[in-house]
Structure 1
């Protein structure tokens, strides 16, 4: 059980956490985006538990020229519209289109997207934040910023040890308790 209070922030990875990950490529179009079972309901629950819920996602498919930033924004618009239908929402989606090979890139595990979030929402305290992801980079990103880390188990091979592990966002939502 994870205990937090309403002034906490939840950072979510996208692919493999909110939606089914495409291990052979990228989510290039809204029709490629399929929510993980229970993800929408989990995010609706998170909206009641956390002050902020933000997404931090590496999207080097744009940097590689496989898709455009417009494609990425269309996918995010679709995700937000579908969440809205169940009374859920995200405060912001931060993404890095940098290639892994770029020096000083903003991709996770580098902390850049965390700092962007804190710049936009100065009330974010990383010690009162949870990073949820399904990869080593997600867990290292959370650690690099001093957050509590949660691994959502997937087909991805992960060697980093997270503070907590769950099968899905919905299972995580059922295991968060707000302190009075």
Structure 2
């Protein structure tokens, strides 16, 4: 989508490529005007579980970075969010996939918190926990422009999960666009990526 488009070819030889994923609107269905507050409200998007299984064979680490201001608004607690994420991780594991870390920011959008995307706080926490992490050998997949800014500013390859209309508004922030996480997985699976390192 811009001059960095050929950068996906790096996947042919780099065995430590990392994958950052947004959650709502990418892995699970976004609740418009509301928040997922319990596991029963968490609905995987079509093909998302299959996509996560494919990614687990190609990337390490796989990291979810998600803004969750519903906590800051008092709509849910940290404990409730942990229950949701435990459910998500278990279902992904059952499907043959894996998430190696989840980082969330509970702060309100108006707080201008450094942990809230598009600011880099969650990525910096990930680099602390995974010292070998190289942002230039990482991909950021999200459905919002804030996700694209987050990844772009850190030098990641950015992948937008949205329609073409949104992508056309911000061409310099977006390297690739797909309609779904599954569509992206189908393309990325064609690359000859080496197996991720063993734990």
Q: How far apart are the structure 1 equivalents of 2:57 and 2:193?
A: 13
Distance 1:179-1:50 versus aligned 2 partners, 3 A rule: closer
Q: How far apart are the structure 1 equivalents of 2:68 and 2:142?
A: 14
Q: Which moved more, 1:95-104 or 1:6-15?
A: 95-104
Hey, which bits of structure 1, 4+ residues long, moved more than 4 A? 154-158
Unpaired runs of 5+ residues, structure 1, are none
Q: Secondary structure at the match of 1:49?
A: coil
Number of equivalenced pairs = 180
Unpaired runs of 5+ residues, structure 2, are 1-5, 195-199
Contact 1:6 1:178 in 2 (8 A): no
Alignment match, 2:130: 121
Distance 1:88-1:160 versus aligned 2 partners, 3 A rule: same
Cα-Cα RMSD: 1.8
Contact 1:8 1:51 in 2 (8 A): yes
Contact 2:164 2:177 in 1 (8 A): no
Alignment of 1:103-122 (within 5 A): 103-122=112-131
Contact 2:163 2:178 in 1 (8 A): no
- TM-score, structure 2 length as denominator? 0.85
Alignment of 1:25-174 (within 5 A): 25-153=34-162, 159-161=169-171, 162-174=174-186
Larger radius of gyration: 2
